[in-house]
């Protein structure tokens, strides 16, 4: 069946549309809430954002995906997923209200970050429940299209939510009170999402008896991750690919820390280039554009030269970008540099993902990708912690940026050397990529 016909069939399914609406409303709320959190911590004139606070903010956003993610499925095979969708949103309505009160009161420190961490951790269960529920509302033959539509649209909804947060901030102000209002407003789409999910029967989204029969215990998840790590160690192409992606994620995390501090404490508006949270939006937009270009050019190029060569080239591109466009520490070069880093990051990741898919046995694939996801986020959090220790409050540090460039360069050299030792992979990207 042509793709357009499958897409129409998916959208014609009433229960899919209800689940789709549940996702869009919730992820729009995520965008509003996370933008309010980032603004309150990083771009609030009533708070002084130092590297430690930036690191804490990044940790709050990412740690739940590292620690909660692998175990979410254990509980989702025990609980009614319809109740998870409803209750997770209702719980977040209460939690974002509490965070808004804390922001308005100017609170920071451990209590504030723990509340935000719990709020985002609940989101991990919600997103996992959506994924697990999808096979219950669409035909198996339509799952790929339904997944693609859902996840892509969810990301767009989160971006729209971030834009709404900026619009709300323009009216509410950029002080503690203003960001508190923005955070509180995120409760509205969360409530809409909860209301939408009440349209499902309690058992309609699973788990069914087959899913319950397969359910694991937390100890099983840990053992599975260990077995997945052992399997990767036995598959050198996959092991090298994951190692190089971990190195990239660490370097990229330090660069992100420096960029946040530069836009918060160092840059000033210059023509079309904006400082503060608006300028950071420019960086994110160019990074996303680079990733989009990578999605287009990587498959044909990697088929021609091979995945290892493309991964090495992308790491080398990131190294050169840091030196040529990062070291001047001006927005005029940093913004186009963000485009090239987005291209390098996504280009390398596409090939790494495909290498893992091709070289890992099917029975281990789920565990290996859980390990991959955990590694991906933990390295980013580690970079935030290291950045907090070595970066000045301005974010402007020649030694740190040179070290990041050297990290990319060394990763490229080591990966190319490893490729030569194992003999490389002459084949290009697989059709699935």
Place of tokens 């949270």: 277
Give first-to-last CA distance, the chain, whole Å.
Answer: 20
- As a residue count, the chain comes to 433
Whether 104 and 247 share a structural domain: no
Q: Is 306 helix (H, G, I), strand (E, B) or coil?
A: coil
Whether 173 and 232 share a structural domain: no
369 domain residue, yes or no: yes
> How high is the mean pLDDT of the chain?
84
Among 166, 201, 216, the domain-final residue is 216
433 domain residue, yes or no: no
- Here the tokens at position 377 are 């986020």
Task: Write the pLDDT tens digit of every residue in 169-200.
Answer: 889 988 889 999 999 999 999 999 999 999 99
Whether 286 and 165 share a structural domain: no
Range of the domain at 10: 3-216
Cis peptide before 207 (omega within 30 of 0): yes
| 410 alpha carbon, distance to own chain's centre | 25
Write the CATH number for 393.
Answer: 1.20.1250.20
Task: Please state which of the ranges 27-31, 77-81, 135-139 shows the lowest mean pLDDT.
Answer: 77-81
- Here the tokens at position 168 are 């709300």
Task: Write the pLDDT tens digit of every residue in 279-333.
Answer: 888 888 888 888 888 878 888 898 899 889 999 999 999 999 999 999 999 999 9
Whether 193 and 233 share a structural domain: no
- Here the tokens at position 193 are 């999402």
Q: Are 153 and 159 in contact (CB under 8 A)?
A: no
Whether 38 and 186 share a structural domain: yes
Whether 185 and 263 share a structural domain: no
| DSSP per-residue letters across 75-116 | HHTTS-HHHHHHHHHHHHHHHHHHHHHHHHTT--HHHHHHHH
Whether 227 and 203 share a structural domain: no
Q: How many CB atoms lie within 10 A of CB 238?
A: 22
pLDDT for 33 equals: 94
* Domains: count for the chain: 2
Q: Are 337 and 405 in contact (CB under 8 A)?
A: no
For the chain, state the CA radius of gyration. Answer: 22
Q: Are 272 and 62 in contact (CB under 8 A)?
A: no
| DSSP per-residue letters across 319-376 | HHHIIIIITT--HHHHHHHHHHHHHHHHHHHHHHHHHHHHHS-HHHHHHHHHHHHHHH
| DSSP per-residue letters across 216-277 | --HHHHHHHHHHHHHHHHHSHHHHHHHHHHHHHHHHHHHHHHHHHHIIIII---BTTB--HH
Whether 167 and 301 share a structural domain: no
Whether 119 and 65 share a structural domain: yes
Q: How far apart are CA 177 and CA 141, in angstroms?
A: 49
| pTM as predicted | 0.75
Among 201, 216, 231, the domain-final residue is 216
């Amino acid at each position: 069946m042509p793709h357009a016909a499958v897409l129409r069939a998916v959208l014609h399914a009433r229960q899919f549309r209800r689940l789709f609406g549940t996702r869009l409303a919730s992820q729009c709320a995520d965008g509003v809430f996370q933008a309010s959190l980032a603004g309150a911590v990083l771009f609030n004139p009533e708070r002084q954002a130092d590297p430690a606070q930036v690191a804490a903010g990044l940790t709050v956003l990412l740690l739940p995906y590292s620690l909660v993610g692998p175990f979410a499925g254990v509980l989702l095979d025990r609980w009614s997923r319809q109740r998870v969708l409803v209750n997770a949103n209702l719980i977040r309505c209460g939690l974002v209200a509490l965070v808004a009160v804390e922001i308005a009161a100017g609170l920071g420190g451990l209590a504030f970050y723990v509340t935000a961490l719990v709020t985002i951790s609940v989101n991990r269960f919600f997103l996992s429940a959506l994924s697990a529920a999808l096979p219950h509302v669409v035909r198996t033959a339509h799952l790929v299209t339904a997944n693609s539509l859902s996840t892509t649209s969810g990301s767009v909804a989160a971006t729209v939510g971030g834009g709404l947060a900026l619009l709300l901030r323009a009216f509410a102000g950029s002080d503690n009170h203003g960001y508190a209002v923005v955070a509180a407003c995120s409760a509205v789409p969360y409530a809409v999402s909860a209301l939408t999910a009440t349209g499902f029967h309690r058992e309609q989204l699973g788990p069914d008896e087959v899913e319950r029969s397969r359910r694991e215990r937390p100890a099983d998840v840990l053992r599975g991750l260990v077995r997945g790590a052992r399997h990767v160690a036995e598959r050198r192409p996959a092991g090298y690919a994951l190692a190089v992606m971990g190195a990239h994620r660490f370097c990229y995390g330090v660069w992100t820390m420096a960029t946040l501090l530069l836009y918060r404490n160092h840059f000033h508006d210059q023509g079309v280039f904006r400082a503060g949270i608006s300028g950071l939006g420019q960086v994110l937009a160019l990074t996303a554009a680079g990733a989009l270009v990578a999605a287009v050019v990587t498959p044909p190029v990697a088929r021609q030269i091979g995945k290892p060569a493309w991964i090495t080239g992308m790491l080398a591109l990131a190294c050169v970008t840091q030196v040529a466009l990062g070291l001047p520490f001006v927005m005029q070069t940093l913004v186009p540099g963000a485009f090239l880093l987005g291209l390098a990051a996504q280009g390398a990741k596409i090939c790494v993902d495909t290498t893992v898919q091709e070289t890992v046995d099917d029975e281990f694939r789920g565990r290996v990708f859980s390990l991959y996801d955990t590694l991906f986020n933990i390295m980013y959090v580690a970079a935030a912690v290291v950045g907090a220790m070595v970066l000045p409050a301005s974010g402007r540090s020649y030694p740190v940026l040179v070290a990041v460039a050297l990290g990319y360069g060394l990763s490229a050299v080591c990966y190319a050397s490893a490729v030569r030792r194992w003999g490389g992979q002459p084949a290009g990207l697989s059709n699935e990529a």
